[in-house]
Structure 1
Amino acid sequence: MAQVPATPKMRRFSLLTAARLFGPELLLRNSDLQASERAALALRAAKPAKAPENPVSVFLIPLVGPHHVGDWAAVCARLNATLRSFIAQTDTNWRVLICGQASPDLPDDPRITFVPFTTPVEGNDKWLKLCQLADTIPTLGIAQGYAMSFDADDLAHPTLVQEMHDRRSAGGYLMTQGYVYDVGNNRIALAQPASPAQPLCKPFWKLCGSCAALAFDLTDQPEAEIARIAESTQHEHRMFPYLAQLAGRPLTPLSGPEALYLLNHGENFGARRGRVSFKQRFAERFQITDAATLTQIRQDFALD
Protein backbone atom coordinates (compact mmCIF):
# COMPACT_ATOMS: atom_id res chain seq x y z
CA MET A 1 0.00 0.00 0.00
CA ALA A 2 1.38 3.40 -1.01
CA GLN A 3 1.41 6.63 0.95
CA VAL A 4 -1.17 9.13 -0.28
CA PRO A 5 0.54 11.84 -2.38
CA ALA A 6 0.79 15.35 -0.98
CA THR A 7 -1.44 18.11 -2.31
CA PRO A 8 0.58 20.57 -4.45
CA LYS A 9 1.54 23.71 -2.55
CA MET A 10 -0.38 26.14 -4.75
CA ARG A 11 -3.55 24.09 -4.34
CA ARG A 12 -3.03 24.01 -0.57
CA PHE A 13 -2.88 27.80 -0.57
CA SER A 14 -6.02 28.13 -2.67
CA LEU A 15 -8.02 25.69 -0.52
CA LEU A 16 -6.93 27.39 2.72
CA THR A 17 -7.90 30.77 1.28
CA ALA A 18 -11.27 29.49 0.07
CA ALA A 19 -11.99 27.84 3.43
CA ARG A 20 -11.29 31.11 5.20
CA LEU A 21 -13.31 33.28 2.80
CA PHE A 22 -16.25 31.03 1.92
CA GLY A 23 -16.38 28.43 4.68
CA PRO A 24 -15.92 24.64 4.64
CA GLU A 25 -19.48 23.79 3.57
CA LEU A 26 -19.00 25.27 0.11
CA LEU A 27 -15.67 23.53 -0.39
CA LEU A 28 -17.15 20.18 0.63
CA ARG A 29 -19.34 20.34 -2.49
CA ASN A 30 -16.15 20.04 -4.51
CA SER A 31 -15.56 16.42 -5.52
CA ASP A 32 -11.90 17.11 -6.31
CA LEU A 33 -10.65 16.78 -2.73
CA GLN A 34 -8.30 14.32 -1.09
CA ALA A 35 -9.89 12.19 1.63
CA SER A 36 -7.74 13.98 4.21
CA GLU A 37 -8.93 17.39 3.01
CA ARG A 38 -12.54 16.27 3.09
CA ALA A 39 -12.12 14.94 6.65
CA ALA A 40 -10.43 18.18 7.76
CA LEU A 41 -13.15 20.36 6.25
CA ALA A 42 -15.91 18.15 7.66
CA LEU A 43 -14.48 18.55 11.16
CA ARG A 44 -14.15 22.30 10.65
CA ALA A 45 -17.80 22.46 9.62
CA ALA A 46 -18.97 20.23 12.47
CA LYS A 47 -17.61 22.16 15.44
CA PRO A 48 -15.10 24.79 16.49
CA ALA A 49 -11.82 23.88 18.10
CA LYS A 50 -11.57 24.12 21.86
CA ALA A 51 -8.84 23.47 24.38
CA PRO A 52 -9.10 19.94 25.83
CA GLU A 53 -9.94 19.58 29.51
CA ASN A 54 -7.89 17.05 31.48
CA PRO A 55 -6.09 15.94 28.31
CA VAL A 56 -4.46 12.57 27.76
CA SER A 57 -1.86 12.21 25.01
CA VAL A 58 -2.13 9.10 22.84
CA PHE A 59 0.93 8.04 20.85
CA LEU A 60 0.30 5.90 17.77
CA ILE A 61 3.20 3.61 16.85
CA PRO A 62 3.06 1.50 13.67
CA LEU A 63 5.53 -1.35 14.20
CA VAL A 64 7.21 -2.99 11.23
CA GLY A 65 6.64 -6.74 10.86
CA PRO A 66 9.50 -9.22 11.38
CA HIS A 67 9.24 -10.27 7.74
CA HIS A 68 10.26 -6.78 6.61
CA VAL A 69 13.46 -6.43 8.64
CA GLY A 70 16.83 -8.07 8.88
CA ASP A 71 17.30 -7.78 12.63
CA TRP A 72 14.06 -8.14 14.58
CA ALA A 73 15.87 -8.09 17.92
CA ALA A 74 17.36 -4.68 17.11
CA VAL A 75 13.91 -3.37 16.11
CA CYS A 76 12.49 -4.56 19.44
CA ALA A 77 15.35 -2.97 21.37
CA ARG A 78 14.76 0.40 19.70
CA LEU A 79 11.01 0.16 20.34
CA ASN A 80 11.67 -0.47 24.02
CA ALA A 81 13.94 2.58 24.13
CA THR A 82 11.07 4.59 22.63
CA LEU A 83 8.67 3.22 25.23
CA ARG A 84 11.09 3.98 28.05
CA SER A 85 11.14 7.59 26.87
CA PHE A 86 7.37 7.68 27.48
CA ILE A 87 7.64 5.96 30.84
CA ALA A 88 10.12 8.70 31.81
CA GLN A 89 7.59 11.48 31.11
CA THR A 90 7.11 13.99 33.90
CA ASP A 91 3.36 14.00 33.15
CA THR A 92 2.00 10.46 33.46
CA ASN A 93 -1.27 11.03 31.57
CA TRP A 94 -0.37 9.29 28.33
CA ARG A 95 -1.20 6.12 26.45
CA VAL A 96 0.71 4.26 23.74
CA LEU A 97 -0.91 2.12 21.05
CA ILE A 98 1.38 -0.17 19.04
CA CYS A 99 0.10 -1.90 15.90
CA GLY A 100 2.00 -4.74 14.28
CA GLN A 101 2.03 -8.34 13.15
CA ALA A 102 4.08 -9.57 16.08
CA SER A 103 4.25 -8.25 19.61
CA PRO A 104 7.73 -7.97 21.12
CA ASP A 105 8.33 -8.18 24.85
CA LEU A 106 6.92 -4.90 26.15
CA PRO A 107 7.38 -3.07 29.44
CA ASP A 108 4.85 -4.07 32.09
CA ASP A 109 2.86 -0.84 31.99
CA PRO A 110 -0.95 -0.68 31.62
CA ARG A 111 -0.63 2.49 29.55
CA ILE A 112 0.97 0.51 26.71
CA THR A 113 -1.35 -1.51 24.45
CA PHE A 114 -0.50 -3.80 21.54
CA VAL A 115 -3.01 -3.86 18.66
CA PRO A 116 -2.63 -6.95 16.41
CA PHE A 117 -2.48 -6.27 12.67
CA THR A 118 -3.75 -9.14 10.50
CA THR A 119 -4.60 -7.46 7.16
CA PRO A 120 -2.59 -8.86 4.22
CA VAL A 121 -0.75 -6.00 2.50
CA GLU A 122 1.71 -5.94 -0.36
CA GLY A 123 4.54 -3.52 0.31
CA ASN A 124 4.62 -0.98 3.11
CA ASP A 125 1.76 -1.56 5.55
CA LYS A 126 2.51 1.46 7.77
CA TRP A 127 -0.44 3.48 6.49
CA LEU A 128 -3.05 0.81 7.20
CA LYS A 129 -1.57 0.33 10.65
CA LEU A 130 -1.95 4.04 11.33
CA CYS A 131 -5.60 3.85 10.26
CA GLN A 132 -6.18 0.94 12.63
CA LEU A 133 -4.44 2.82 15.43
CA ALA A 134 -6.66 5.86 14.92
CA ASP A 135 -9.75 3.65 14.95
CA THR A 136 -8.57 2.16 18.27
CA ILE A 137 -8.44 5.50 20.13
CA PRO A 138 -12.17 5.47 21.11
CA THR A 139 -11.71 2.11 22.87
CA LEU A 140 -9.39 3.74 25.43
CA GLY A 141 -12.20 5.62 27.14
CA ILE A 142 -10.40 8.96 26.74
CA ALA A 143 -12.63 11.98 26.18
CA GLN A 144 -10.14 14.65 25.12
CA GLY A 145 -6.47 14.91 24.42
CA TYR A 146 -3.83 14.81 21.72
CA ALA A 147 -3.09 12.08 19.18
CA MET A 148 0.44 11.85 17.85
CA SER A 149 1.87 9.36 15.37
CA PHE A 150 5.31 8.34 16.59
CA ASP A 151 7.93 6.17 14.91
CA ALA A 152 9.09 3.09 16.78
CA ASP A 153 12.71 4.25 16.82
CA ASP A 154 12.33 7.91 17.85
CA LEU A 155 12.60 9.23 21.41
CA ALA A 156 10.48 11.72 23.37
CA HIS A 157 11.96 14.32 25.69
CA PRO A 158 10.80 13.79 29.31
CA THR A 159 8.77 17.04 29.31
CA LEU A 160 6.93 16.51 26.01
CA VAL A 161 3.59 15.45 27.52
CA GLN A 162 3.80 17.98 30.34
CA GLU A 163 4.25 20.91 27.97
CA MET A 164 1.35 19.84 25.78
CA HIS A 165 -0.97 19.39 28.75
CA ASP A 166 0.10 22.56 30.56
CA ARG A 167 -0.42 24.75 27.50
CA ARG A 168 -3.61 22.97 26.31
CA SER A 169 -3.50 24.16 22.71
CA ALA A 170 -6.92 23.97 21.04
CA GLY A 171 -5.45 22.71 17.77
CA GLY A 172 -2.46 20.70 18.80
CA TYR A 173 1.29 21.02 18.52
CA LEU A 174 4.05 21.06 15.94
CA MET A 175 7.71 20.32 16.59
CA THR A 176 9.62 23.07 14.87
CA GLN A 177 12.77 22.13 16.80
CA GLY A 178 14.19 18.68 17.45
CA TYR A 179 17.34 16.61 17.37
CA VAL A 180 18.54 14.45 14.47
CA TYR A 181 20.82 11.64 15.58
CA ASP A 182 22.90 9.96 12.86
CA VAL A 183 23.63 6.77 14.77
CA GLY A 184 26.07 5.31 12.25
CA ASN A 185 28.30 8.39 12.34
CA ASN A 186 27.57 9.33 15.97
CA ARG A 187 26.44 12.85 15.11
CA ILE A 188 23.63 14.83 16.75
CA ALA A 189 22.27 17.92 15.00
CA LEU A 190 19.64 20.48 15.88
CA ALA A 191 16.81 20.90 13.38
CA GLN A 192 15.07 24.25 13.59
CA PRO A 193 13.56 26.87 11.25
CA ALA A 194 16.00 28.55 8.90
CA SER A 195 17.49 31.88 9.98
CA PRO A 196 19.85 34.45 8.43
CA ALA A 197 22.68 32.74 10.29
CA GLN A 198 21.61 29.27 9.10
CA PRO A 199 19.62 29.71 5.89
CA LEU A 200 19.85 26.03 4.95
CA CYS A 201 18.55 24.67 8.24
CA LYS A 202 15.16 22.91 8.31
CA PRO A 203 12.44 22.69 10.93
CA PHE A 204 12.14 19.32 12.62
CA TRP A 205 8.67 18.62 11.17
CA LYS A 206 10.13 18.59 7.66
CA LEU A 207 12.59 15.84 8.60
CA CYS A 208 10.78 13.52 11.01
CA GLY A 209 7.29 12.02 11.15
CA SER A 210 7.16 12.15 14.97
CA CYS A 211 6.37 15.82 14.85
CA ALA A 212 2.66 16.68 15.23
CA ALA A 213 0.11 16.16 18.00
CA LEU A 214 -3.52 16.66 16.93
CA ALA A 215 -6.07 17.80 19.51
CA PHE A 216 -9.23 15.67 19.69
CA ASP A 217 -12.55 15.77 21.53
CA LEU A 218 -14.55 12.54 21.44
CA THR A 219 -17.43 13.88 23.54
CA ASP A 220 -19.06 15.31 20.41
CA GLN A 221 -19.10 13.77 16.91
CA PRO A 222 -16.22 11.35 17.57
CA GLU A 223 -16.46 9.86 14.07
CA ALA A 224 -15.40 13.18 12.54
CA GLU A 225 -12.48 13.45 14.96
CA ILE A 226 -11.19 9.95 14.26
CA ALA A 227 -11.61 10.31 10.50
CA ARG A 228 -9.54 13.48 10.59
CA ILE A 229 -6.73 11.77 12.55
CA ALA A 230 -6.77 8.64 10.39
CA GLU A 231 -6.75 10.47 7.06
CA SER A 232 -4.08 12.96 8.12
CA THR A 233 -1.65 10.14 8.92
CA GLN A 234 -1.91 8.75 5.39
CA HIS A 235 0.32 11.56 4.09
CA GLU A 236 3.92 12.54 4.58
CA HIS A 237 4.46 14.64 7.68
CA ARG A 238 4.97 17.83 5.66
CA MET A 239 1.20 17.83 5.11
CA PHE A 240 0.36 17.93 8.84
CA PRO A 241 0.41 21.74 9.33
CA TYR A 242 -1.66 22.32 6.20
CA LEU A 243 -4.33 19.77 7.10
CA ALA A 244 -4.53 21.15 10.63
CA GLN A 245 -5.11 24.64 9.27
CA LEU A 246 -7.73 23.33 6.86
CA ALA A 247 -9.52 21.74 9.81
CA GLY A 248 -9.54 25.10 11.60
CA ARG A 249 -7.14 23.72 14.17
CA PRO A 250 -3.71 25.25 13.54
CA LEU A 251 -0.77 23.68 15.34
CA THR A 252 1.14 25.53 18.04
CA PRO A 253 4.96 25.26 17.95
CA LEU A 254 6.44 23.53 20.97
CA SER A 255 8.90 25.61 22.97
CA GLY A 256 12.02 23.55 22.28
CA PRO A 257 13.46 20.25 21.03
CA GLU A 258 11.02 17.69 22.46
CA ALA A 259 11.96 14.69 20.30
CA LEU A 260 15.02 12.96 18.90
CA TYR A 261 14.97 11.32 15.47
CA LEU A 262 17.28 8.34 14.96
CA LEU A 263 18.56 7.60 11.48
CA ASN A 264 21.24 5.47 9.86
CA HIS A 265 20.87 2.70 12.42
CA GLY A 266 20.44 -0.18 9.97
CA GLU A 267 16.67 -0.68 9.76
CA ASN A 268 15.35 2.74 8.65
CA PHE A 269 12.71 2.31 5.97
CA GLY A 270 13.74 5.65 4.54
CA ALA A 271 17.15 4.23 3.67
CA ARG A 272 15.49 1.55 1.57
CA ARG A 273 13.72 4.27 -0.41
CA GLY A 274 16.87 6.38 -0.76
CA ARG A 275 15.62 9.12 1.56
CA VAL A 276 18.14 9.12 4.40
CA SER A 277 21.37 10.29 2.74
CA PHE A 278 20.35 13.97 2.67
CA LYS A 279 19.44 13.72 6.37
CA GLN A 280 22.91 12.37 7.07
CA ARG A 281 24.31 15.39 5.27
CA PHE A 282 22.02 17.59 7.36
CA ALA A 283 23.36 16.00 10.55
CA GLU A 284 26.92 16.64 9.38
CA ARG A 285 26.25 20.26 8.42
CA PHE A 286 24.41 21.17 11.63
CA GLN A 287 26.24 18.88 14.02
CA ILE A 288 26.29 19.96 17.65
CA THR A 289 29.86 20.09 18.92
CA ASP A 290 29.52 21.66 22.37
CA ALA A 291 30.40 18.94 24.88
CA ALA A 292 28.09 20.16 27.66
CA THR A 293 25.12 20.35 25.27
CA LEU A 294 25.77 16.86 23.96
CA THR A 295 26.03 15.50 27.50
CA GLN A 296 22.65 17.02 28.39
CA ILE A 297 21.01 15.64 25.24
CA ARG A 298 22.34 12.16 25.93
CA GLN A 299 21.09 12.39 29.49
CA ASP A 300 17.63 13.70 28.52
CA PHE A 301 17.09 10.97 25.94
CA ALA A 302 18.95 8.18 27.80
CA LEU A 303 21.29 7.57 24.89
CA ASP A 304 24.10 6.08 27.00
Structure 2
Amino acid sequence: MSNSLSSLKEQLDQVEEFFQETAHETRINSESDKQKPEIAFAISFKSKKVSHDWQKVQDNLGLTLRSLLNNTDQNFRIIIAGHEKPNIEELNDKRITWLSVKFPPPLNARRATRDKLRKRMVIGAFLRKNGFSGYFMPLDADDWIHYRFVEYIRSLPISNALIINKGFMVNVLQSEIWKQDQFYKYCGSSTVFNFSNGDFPKSSKRSDINKTAFKWATKNHVKVREFVKNHTLVDYPFVTYILAHGDNLSIIQGLRDNRASAEHHNGVGEELGDWIYEYFKVWKE
Protein backbone atom coordinates (compact mmCIF):
# COMPACT_ATOMS: atom_id res chain seq x y z
CA MET A 1 0.00 0.00 0.00
CA SER A 2 1.03 3.59 -0.55
CA ASN A 3 2.58 5.52 2.36
CA SER A 4 0.80 8.68 1.16
CA LEU A 5 -2.43 8.07 3.03
CA SER A 6 -3.84 11.47 2.15
CA SER A 7 -3.45 11.30 -1.64
CA LEU A 8 -6.93 9.94 -2.37
CA LYS A 9 -8.50 12.32 0.11
CA GLU A 10 -6.69 15.17 -1.64
CA GLN A 11 -8.47 14.23 -4.87
CA LEU A 12 -11.79 14.63 -3.11
CA ASP A 13 -10.57 17.92 -1.67
CA GLN A 14 -10.19 19.03 -5.30
CA VAL A 15 -13.95 18.63 -5.69
CA GLU A 16 -14.43 21.07 -2.82
CA GLU A 17 -11.99 23.47 -4.47
CA PHE A 18 -13.96 23.23 -7.73
CA PHE A 19 -17.15 24.34 -6.01
CA GLN A 20 -15.38 27.13 -4.15
CA GLU A 21 -13.98 28.45 -7.43
CA THR A 22 -17.34 28.28 -9.20
CA ALA A 23 -19.49 29.52 -6.30
CA HIS A 24 -19.91 33.02 -7.74
CA GLU A 25 -20.78 31.70 -11.20
CA THR A 26 -23.22 29.23 -9.64
CA ARG A 27 -25.09 32.05 -7.88
CA ILE A 28 -25.36 33.99 -11.14
CA ASN A 29 -26.71 30.97 -13.01
CA SER A 30 -28.99 29.72 -10.22
CA GLU A 31 -32.16 30.44 -12.18
CA SER A 32 -30.99 28.64 -15.33
CA ASP A 33 -29.77 25.72 -13.20
CA LYS A 34 -33.36 25.13 -12.13
CA GLN A 35 -34.10 24.21 -15.72
CA LYS A 36 -31.39 21.55 -15.84
CA PRO A 37 -32.44 17.90 -15.73
CA GLU A 38 -33.48 16.18 -12.55
CA ILE A 39 -31.77 12.85 -11.88
CA ALA A 40 -33.70 9.60 -11.42
CA PHE A 41 -31.62 6.96 -9.64
CA ALA A 42 -32.82 3.45 -10.54
CA ILE A 43 -32.05 0.66 -8.08
CA SER A 44 -32.82 -2.98 -8.87
CA PHE A 45 -32.99 -4.60 -5.45
CA LYS A 46 -31.81 -8.17 -5.01
CA SER A 47 -34.33 -10.79 -3.92
CA LYS A 48 -34.01 -12.38 -0.52
CA LYS A 49 -33.96 -15.76 -2.27
CA VAL A 50 -30.55 -15.08 -3.84
CA SER A 51 -29.05 -13.23 -0.87
CA HIS A 52 -26.51 -14.82 1.44
CA ASP A 53 -27.20 -12.38 4.27
CA TRP A 54 -30.54 -10.57 3.98
CA GLN A 55 -29.80 -8.21 6.86
CA LYS A 56 -26.50 -7.19 5.22
CA VAL A 57 -28.28 -6.61 1.90
CA GLN A 58 -30.80 -4.34 3.63
CA ASP A 59 -28.11 -2.48 5.55
CA ASN A 60 -26.09 -1.91 2.38
CA LEU A 61 -29.14 -0.42 0.68
CA GLY A 62 -29.59 1.89 3.65
CA LEU A 63 -26.03 3.20 3.27
CA THR A 64 -26.48 3.70 -0.47
CA LEU A 65 -29.69 5.64 0.09
CA ARG A 66 -28.10 7.74 2.82
CA SER A 67 -25.28 8.74 0.49
CA LEU A 68 -27.93 9.96 -1.97
CA LEU A 69 -30.33 11.59 0.45
CA ASN A 70 -27.51 13.69 1.93
CA ASN A 71 -26.67 15.28 -1.42
CA THR A 72 -26.41 19.07 -1.49
CA ASP A 73 -28.64 19.33 -4.59
CA GLN A 74 -32.05 17.79 -3.97
CA ASN A 75 -33.16 17.72 -7.61
CA PHE A 76 -33.37 13.95 -7.78
CA ARG A 77 -35.68 11.04 -7.14
CA ILE A 78 -34.97 7.40 -6.30
CA ILE A 79 -36.97 4.48 -7.68
CA ILE A 80 -36.35 1.01 -6.29
CA ALA A 81 -37.81 -2.14 -7.84
CA GLY A 82 -37.77 -5.42 -5.96
CA HIS A 83 -39.57 -8.48 -4.69
CA GLU A 84 -39.33 -8.22 -0.91
CA LYS A 85 -39.46 -4.70 0.47
CA PRO A 86 -36.61 -4.16 2.94
CA ASN A 87 -37.32 -3.04 6.47
CA ILE A 88 -35.19 0.12 6.67
CA GLU A 89 -36.14 3.62 7.76
CA GLU A 90 -34.72 5.31 4.64
CA LEU A 91 -37.62 3.96 2.57
CA ASN A 92 -39.95 6.33 4.42
CA ASP A 93 -38.34 9.29 2.66
CA LYS A 94 -40.69 11.01 0.21
CA ARG A 95 -37.97 11.14 -2.45
CA ILE A 96 -38.03 7.33 -2.72
CA THR A 97 -40.56 5.24 -4.62
CA TRP A 98 -40.77 1.49 -4.07
CA LEU A 99 -42.07 -0.69 -6.94
CA SER A 100 -43.07 -4.29 -6.19
CA VAL A 101 -42.37 -6.45 -9.23
CA LYS A 102 -44.81 -9.20 -10.20
CA PHE A 103 -42.50 -11.68 -11.89
CA PRO A 104 -40.89 -14.46 -9.81
CA PRO A 105 -37.42 -14.01 -8.31
CA PRO A 106 -34.44 -15.73 -9.95
CA LEU A 107 -33.83 -19.36 -9.07
CA ASN A 108 -30.13 -18.78 -8.40
CA ALA A 109 -27.39 -16.16 -8.51
CA ARG A 110 -26.50 -17.01 -12.12
CA ARG A 111 -29.84 -15.55 -13.18
CA ALA A 112 -29.61 -12.51 -10.94
CA THR A 113 -28.17 -10.27 -13.66
CA ARG A 114 -31.21 -10.83 -15.86
CA ASP A 115 -33.41 -10.17 -12.83
CA LYS A 116 -31.61 -6.86 -12.27
CA LEU A 117 -32.26 -5.78 -15.85
CA ARG A 118 -35.93 -6.79 -15.72
CA LYS A 119 -36.37 -4.59 -12.65
CA ARG A 120 -34.62 -1.73 -14.45
CA MET A 121 -37.09 -2.11 -17.29
CA VAL A 122 -39.98 -1.88 -14.81
CA ILE A 123 -38.50 1.38 -13.53
CA GLY A 124 -38.13 2.70 -17.08
CA ALA A 125 -41.81 2.01 -17.86
CA PHE A 126 -42.82 3.63 -14.56
CA LEU A 127 -40.92 6.81 -15.45
CA ARG A 128 -42.55 6.91 -18.91
CA LYS A 129 -46.01 6.57 -17.35
CA ASN A 130 -45.25 9.31 -14.82
CA GLY A 131 -44.04 11.81 -17.42
CA PHE A 132 -40.42 11.94 -16.32
CA SER A 133 -37.73 13.45 -18.55
CA GLY A 134 -34.16 13.96 -17.45
CA TYR A 135 -31.09 12.12 -16.28
CA PHE A 136 -31.39 8.40 -15.51
CA MET A 137 -28.71 6.56 -13.55
CA PRO A 138 -28.78 2.81 -12.82
CA LEU A 139 -27.37 2.36 -9.33
CA ASP A 140 -26.40 -0.80 -7.49
CA ALA A 141 -27.81 -1.17 -4.00
CA ASP A 142 -24.38 -1.32 -2.35
CA ASP A 143 -22.49 1.54 -4.01
CA TRP A 144 -21.95 4.98 -2.48
CA ILE A 145 -22.49 8.38 -4.11
CA HIS A 146 -20.51 11.51 -3.21
CA TYR A 147 -22.54 14.13 -1.37
CA ARG A 148 -22.01 16.73 -4.14
CA PHE A 149 -22.57 14.37 -7.06
CA VAL A 150 -26.01 15.67 -8.05
CA GLU A 151 -24.81 19.26 -7.74
CA TYR A 152 -21.81 18.55 -9.96
CA ILE A 153 -23.71 16.63 -12.63
CA ARG A 154 -26.31 19.39 -12.91
CA SER A 155 -23.58 22.03 -13.15
CA LEU A 156 -22.22 20.49 -16.37
CA PRO A 157 -23.41 21.26 -19.90
CA ILE A 158 -26.24 18.90 -20.80
CA SER A 159 -24.95 15.75 -22.50
CA ASN A 160 -26.38 12.55 -23.97
CA ALA A 161 -24.60 10.70 -21.19
CA LEU A 162 -22.13 11.39 -18.41
CA ILE A 163 -19.76 8.49 -17.80
CA ILE A 164 -17.76 8.03 -14.59
CA ASN A 165 -14.22 7.55 -15.83
CA LYS A 166 -12.54 7.51 -12.41
CA GLY A 167 -14.01 6.14 -9.21
CA PHE A 168 -13.10 4.51 -5.94
CA MET A 169 -13.01 0.80 -5.22
CA VAL A 170 -13.01 -0.41 -1.63
CA ASN A 171 -12.27 -3.88 -0.31
CA VAL A 172 -13.83 -3.68 3.15
CA LEU A 173 -12.44 -7.08 4.12
CA GLN A 174 -8.88 -5.88 3.54
CA SER A 175 -9.62 -2.27 4.52
CA GLU A 176 -8.11 -1.04 1.25
CA ILE A 177 -9.19 1.73 -1.07
CA TRP A 178 -7.88 2.75 -4.49
CA LYS A 179 -8.83 4.96 -7.40
CA GLN A 180 -9.84 3.03 -10.48
CA ASP A 181 -9.28 4.38 -13.99
CA GLN A 182 -11.90 3.45 -16.60
CA PHE A 183 -14.25 2.93 -13.69
CA TYR A 184 -17.20 2.28 -16.01
CA LYS A 185 -15.60 -1.02 -17.01
CA TYR A 186 -15.75 -2.28 -13.44
CA CYS A 187 -18.89 -0.81 -11.93
CA GLY A 188 -22.44 -0.66 -13.27
CA SER A 189 -23.14 2.52 -11.27
CA SER A 190 -21.19 4.58 -13.76
CA THR A 191 -23.42 6.17 -16.40
CA VAL A 192 -25.96 8.99 -16.24
CA PHE A 193 -28.14 8.81 -19.36
CA ASN A 194 -30.14 11.78 -20.63
CA PHE A 195 -33.61 10.62 -21.71
CA SER A 196 -36.72 12.47 -22.85
CA ASN A 197 -40.00 10.95 -21.72
CA GLY A 198 -40.42 9.29 -25.12
CA ASP A 199 -37.05 7.59 -24.71
CA PHE A 200 -38.48 5.51 -21.87
CA PRO A 201 -40.44 2.35 -22.83
CA LYS A 202 -44.23 2.10 -22.76
CA SER A 203 -43.92 -1.21 -20.93
CA SER A 204 -41.23 -3.41 -19.45
CA LYS A 205 -41.44 -5.82 -22.37
CA ARG A 206 -38.21 -6.30 -24.30
CA SER A 207 -40.03 -5.53 -27.57
CA ASP A 208 -40.95 -2.09 -26.23
CA ILE A 209 -37.50 -1.54 -24.72
CA ASN A 210 -35.78 -2.14 -28.06
CA LYS A 211 -37.87 0.59 -29.73
CA THR A 212 -36.45 3.27 -27.46
CA ALA A 213 -33.15 4.83 -26.47
CA PHE A 214 -33.71 3.26 -23.06
CA LYS A 215 -32.28 0.05 -24.49
CA TRP A 216 -28.81 1.54 -23.97
CA ALA A 217 -29.43 1.47 -20.22
CA THR A 218 -29.86 -2.31 -20.42
CA LYS A 219 -26.60 -2.98 -22.27
CA ASN A 220 -23.28 -4.07 -20.77
CA HIS A 221 -21.79 -1.05 -19.01
CA VAL A 222 -18.28 -2.13 -20.04
CA LYS A 223 -18.95 -0.95 -23.61
CA VAL A 224 -20.99 2.15 -22.84
CA ARG A 225 -18.54 4.50 -24.57
CA GLU A 226 -18.95 2.52 -27.78
CA PHE A 227 -22.72 2.75 -28.06
CA VAL A 228 -23.49 6.15 -26.50
CA LYS A 229 -22.24 8.95 -28.72
CA ASN A 230 -21.56 12.53 -27.61
CA HIS A 231 -20.93 11.59 -24.01
CA THR A 232 -19.01 13.45 -21.32
CA LEU A 233 -16.37 11.80 -19.14
CA VAL A 234 -16.35 12.60 -15.42
CA ASP A 235 -12.88 12.33 -13.89
CA TYR A 236 -13.70 13.14 -10.28
CA PRO A 237 -14.20 9.99 -8.15
CA PHE A 238 -17.87 10.50 -7.31
CA VAL A 239 -18.82 6.83 -6.96
CA THR A 240 -17.44 4.19 -4.59
CA TYR A 241 -17.77 0.50 -5.46
CA ILE A 242 -17.83 -1.59 -2.27
CA LEU A 243 -16.31 -5.07 -2.50
CA ALA A 244 -16.07 -8.02 -0.11
CA HIS A 245 -18.97 -6.97 2.11
CA GLY A 246 -20.32 -10.52 2.05
CA ASP A 247 -23.11 -10.32 -0.53
CA ASN A 248 -21.61 -8.87 -3.73
CA LEU A 249 -23.34 -10.31 -6.78
CA SER A 250 -20.10 -10.17 -8.80
CA ILE A 251 -18.31 -12.23 -6.15
CA ILE A 252 -21.19 -14.70 -5.75
CA GLN A 253 -21.17 -15.19 -9.53
CA GLY A 254 -17.40 -15.75 -9.52
CA LEU A 255 -16.59 -12.66 -11.59
CA ARG A 256 -14.48 -11.25 -8.74
CA ASP A 257 -13.35 -12.51 -5.37
CA ASN A 258 -12.72 -11.17 -1.89
CA ARG A 259 -9.00 -10.81 -2.63
CA ALA A 260 -9.60 -8.01 -5.15
CA SER A 261 -7.05 -5.29 -4.54
CA ALA A 262 -5.38 -2.27 -6.10
CA GLU A 263 -2.52 -4.50 -7.18
CA HIS A 264 -4.91 -6.60 -9.25
CA HIS A 265 -6.37 -3.48 -10.87
CA ASN A 266 -3.21 -1.56 -11.75
CA GLY A 267 -3.90 0.91 -8.98
CA VAL A 268 -2.19 2.19 -5.87
CA GLY A 269 -3.91 1.13 -2.69
CA GLU A 270 -4.24 3.03 0.55
CA GLU A 271 -5.58 2.03 3.94
CA LEU A 272 -9.29 2.79 4.19
CA GLY A 273 -9.65 5.88 6.36
CA ASP A 274 -12.51 7.63 8.11
CA TRP A 275 -12.31 10.52 5.63
CA ILE A 276 -14.22 8.45 3.05
CA TYR A 277 -17.32 8.60 5.24
CA GLU A 278 -17.18 12.38 5.32
CA TYR A 279 -17.44 12.69 1.55
CA PHE A 280 -19.95 9.91 0.99
CA LYS A 281 -22.01 10.58 4.13
CA VAL A 282 -21.98 7.01 5.39
CA TRP A 283 -20.17 5.44 8.31
CA LYS A 284 -18.47 2.27 9.47
CA GLU A 285 -20.72 -0.44 10.82
- State whether TM-score is above 0.5: yes
SS at match of 1:257: coil
1:177 to 163, 166, 170: 166
Contact 2:171-2:261 at 8 Å conserved across structures: no
With the length of structure 1 as denominator, give the TM-score of the two structures. 0.70
Letter in 2 for 1:145: G
The answer on whether the counterparts of 1:190 and 1:286 sit within 8 Å (CA) in structure 2 is yes
2:102 corresponds, among 115, 118, 129, to 118
Matches within 5 A, 1:23-102: 53-102=35-84
Describe how 1:1-304 pairs up with structure 2 within 5 A. Answer: 53-106=35-88, 107=90, 108-120=92-104, 121-122=106-107, 123-124=111-112, 125-142=115-132, 144-192=133-181, 203-218=182-197, 223=201, 228=212, 230-245=214-229, 250-277=230-257, 280-282=260-262, 286-289=267-270, 294-301=273-280, 302-304=282-284
Separation (CA, whole Å) in 1 of partners of 2:151 and 2:221? 23
- Could you say what secondary structure the match of 2:241 adopts? strand
Unaligned runs of 5+ in 1: 1-50, 193-202
Contact 1:188 1:283 in 2 (8 A): no
Q: Deviations over 1:109-136 (max 9, x none)?
A: 1110111112125532112111111111
The AA in structure 1 aligned to 2:262 is F
SS of 1:110's equivalent?
Answer: coil
State the match for 1:28 in structure 2. Answer: none
Query: RMSD of aligned C-alpha atoms?
Result: 2.6
Unaligned 5+ segments in structure 2 are 1-32, 203-207
Equivalent residue letter for 1:188: I
Contact 2:243 2:258 (8 Å CA) reproduced: no
User: CA separation in 2, counterparts of 1:146 and 1:61?
Assistant: 14
Cα distance change on mapping 1:283 and 1:186 into 2, 3 Å: farther
Is contact 1:171-1:214 (8 Å) kept?
A: yes
Q: Which amino acid aligns with 2:154?
A: H
Aligned pair in 2 of structure 1 residues 177, 303: CA closer, same or farther (>3 Å)? farther
Q: Which has the larger displacement, 145-154 or 51-60?
A: 51-60
Letter paired with 1:217: S
Q: Equivalent pairs: percent with the same residue?
A: 24
Secondary structure of 2:153's aligned partner: helix
Name the structure 2 match of 1:5: none
Partner amino acid, structure 2, of 1:303? W
Q: Secondary structure at the match of 2:169?
A: strand
Once residues 187 and 286 of structure 1 are traced to their aligned partners in structure 2, the CA distance between those partners, rounded to angstroms, is 11
- Secondary structure at the aligned position of 1:73 is classed as helix
Q: Distance in 2 between matches of 1:154 and 1:221?
A: 26
Q: Is the 8 A contact 1:181 1:283 kept in 2?
A: no
**Rounded Cα–Cα distance in structure 2 between residues aligned with 1:289 and 1:85:** 22
